[in-house]
Amino acid sequence: MPLELRSDIAAHRIDLETLLAGIGNQCLDQAARDAAAPNFAWHQSVFGNADSAAPHPGQPSEGSLSGQVGVVLTGLFRSMAAYSHFGHDRLLMLDGEVYRHNAQNMSMLFLSDNAASVHPALWRAMQAADAPDSPYDGDALSQRLDAAFAEVFGRDCAVLWAATGTAANCLALASLVQPHGGVVCHLEAHIEVDEGGAPGFYLHGAKLMLAEGEGAKLTPQAIAAVIDPIRNDVHQVQPHAVSITQASEYGRAYTPAEMAGIAAFCRERGLPLHVDGARFGNAVAFLGCTPWEACEGAAVLSFGMIKNGGMSAEALVFFEPGLADVARYRRKRAGHLQSKGRYLAAQLLAMLEGDLWLQNARHANAAAQELASAARGRLLHPVQANEVFLRLTAPEREALRGQGFSFYDWGDEAARLVTAWNSKTEHVTALARAIAAL
């Protein structure tokens, strides 16, 4: 088994189907040989099982190894699965017995909107796209993207698909910034904290220039505080662009007035503006403004779809269409020009159809507001999207997990709860009541 796959098995909870799919590449003695990763207990604690003595996911807890592999292989060839969209339930037939496997470990998930399922409309769209067409982005669906997004934003744009938010952000920035330049962003921006150095990789060493701001939001004053002390000479990195996140990493939305102020400052300083819109739909839904007002002045927007019910497609929306010509070459060089791009285009178009992206965002936002209402004085930030940051002690967090709620700790005395397009009303209400009762 490749080293990467062994690491994944050691570090993550892997459901039965994933384990079955990977077993064909696994050495017979692999399970007995690998030790659990040091942080495996941390992953268990997320789901409230920190004290359990579960074995390594690839390691049998009893019986001979050959016998266990035999059972797995027998189950592999006899397995039959049925999919239930909202509950992620799967019925597995193993040795004639039917078991119900729940991919969410029977807990109520508030970990991340990345953990949410794919909206059925996108599955239907991908199935409808399953016919011969031109490869790469020459297919009919990809060719419709410019016009579809131009209708949403009320202006001409050029749109490219990408498979991940990280790729979308980095390809956008690489179209704006030279390797010897810098990008001004918040010190807690996703591109700084959560993208594994990808911006530096894609931008060939361009520097992230970190600014401060409440709620992970920038202001013209905060940007000026970073760039004004920089001398205009070859000995110092010069700013080439500004990147902000809408909604921010703490779920704070930039109002149209705030966006206009940042855009005006960037125009005055000659700095193109990139907007990381991983939760752009949530911001627009909260603000009640037009999509353009939520990103006014941007040269390029990373339009998030995956967190909002998508599967594997994000949109790079260039409001300066000429920049897309640069990004096309960079996307190919980076290995992100998928040969069957029609399936990514199908997802994006399906999300725009009937404003599904806004419907999904409104549902997630409403769920977050219900939690916020129950939190009373515990809120660390105003809830303006689908993230809720709460003051919760360790015993309080464990009490909630003991009731079946899963979420991430946020430091020693807080937690982050994230709602999604498919958050179940009964789960949200149950969590709200549990928080209020603490």
- Residue pointed to by tokens 């662009």: 241
Domains contained in the chain, number: 3
Kindly report, residue by residue over 252-285, the tens digit of the pLDDT: 999 999 999 999 999 999 999 999 999 999 999 9
Is 125 within the bounds of a domain?
no
- Whether residue 418 sits in one domain with residue 302: no
Q: Does a structural domain hold residue 401? A: yes
Q: How confident is the model at residue 6 (pLDDT cuts 50, 70, 90)?
A: very low
Rounded Cα gap, residues 27 and 1, in angstroms: 6
Identify whether residues 351 and 364 lie together within a single domain: no
- Cα→Cα distances 376→9, 234, 391, Å: 40, 52, 10
Q: How far is 111 from 251, CA to CA, in rounded Å?
A: 15
- Judgement on whether residues 49 and 188 belong to the same structural domain of the protein: no
Q: Is residue 142 part of a domain?
A: yes
Find the length of the chain: 438
Distance in angstroms (rounded) separating the CA atoms of residues 17 and 15: 6
For residues 226 and 185, give the distance between their C-alpha atoms in angstroms, rounded to a whole number. 10
Look at residue 382 and tell me if it is in a domain. Answer: yes
As a whole number of angstroms, the distance between CA 364 and CA 368 comes to: 6
Residue 163 inside a domain? The answer is: yes
Q: Which H or E run contains 159?
A: strand 158-162
What pTM does this model have? 0.77
Residue 299 resides in a domain: yes
Q: Are the C-beta atoms of 200 and 233 separated by less than 8 Å?
A: no
Does residue 244 form part of some domain?
Answer: yes
Take residue 285 and report the two structure tokens written for it.
Answer: 């839904």
Q: Is residue 141 part of a domain?
A: yes
Q: What's the CA gap between 302 and 279, in Å, rounded?
A: 10
For residue 143, give the CATH number of its domain: 3.40.640.10
Give the domain-ending residue among 306, 330, 356: 356
Determine the Cα–Cα distance for residues 347 and 349; give it in Å rounded to an integer.
Answer: 6
Q: What percent of the chain has pLDDT over 70?
A: 76
Q: Kindly report the number of other CB atoms within 10 A of residue 29's CB atom.
A: 10
Question: Is the domain of 215 the same as that of 318?
Answer: yes
Q: Rounded to whole angstroms, how far apart are CA atoms 404 and 430? A: 10
pLDDT at 36 over 60: no
Q: Which of 62-71, 362-371, 423-432 has the lowest mean pLDDT?
A: 62-71
Residue 32 has pLDDT above 80, yes or no: no
Q: What is the CATH number of the domain that holds 372?
A: 3.90.1150.10
Q: Please check whether residues 368 and 417 belong to one and the same domain.
A: yes
Give the number of other Cβ atoms within 10 Å of residue 257's Cβ. Answer: 10
What is the extent of the structural domain holding 320?
A: 133-356
| Phi, psi (degrees; rounded to nearest 5) at 32 | -75, -25
- Pairing type for strands 273-277 and 300-303 reads parallel
Which residue, 84, 104, 124, sits at the end of a domain?
104
Backbone angles phi, psi at 193, to 5 degrees: -95, -30
Region of residue 238 (phi > 0: left; psi between -120 and 50: alpha; otherwise: beta): beta
Domain boundary among 356, 391, 424: 356
Helices assigned H by DSSP within 116-229: 120-128, 140-143, 145-153, 165-174, 190-193, 198-202, 220-227
| Rama region for 204: left / alpha / beta (φ>0; ψ in -120 to 50; rest) | left
Residue 215 to residue 255: CA distance in whole angstroms: 13
Claim to verify: residue 328 and residue 366 sit in the same structural domain: no
Closest residue by Cα to residue 125 from 359, 352, 364: 352
- Asked whether residue 271 falls in the same domain as residue 140, the answer is yes
Q: Please state the rounded mean pLDDT for residues 329-354.
A: 97
pLDDT in tens, 343-402: 999 999 999 999 999 999 999 999 999 999 999 899 999 999 999 999 999 999 999 999
For residue 371, give the nearest of 311, 436, 281, 316 by alpha carbon.
Answer: 436
**Does residue 187 share a domain with residue 82?**
no
Residue 29 has pLDDT above 50, yes or no: no
Per-residue pLDDT tens over the stretch 162-188:
999 999 999 999 999 999 999 999 999
Coil, strand or helix at 437: coil
Let me know whether 22 and 93 are in one domain. Answer: yes
291 shares its domain with 429: no
Average pLDDT, the chain: 83
- Same domain (yes/no): 171, 28: no
User: Can you give the pLDDT at residue 107?
Assistant: 79
More reliable by pLDDT, 375 or 62: 375
How confident is the model over 310-336, as a mean pLDDT?
A: 95
184 and 155 in one domain?
A: yes
Q: Tell me what pLDDT residue 4 has.
A: 40
Phi, psi values for residue 436, rounded to 5° = -60, -30
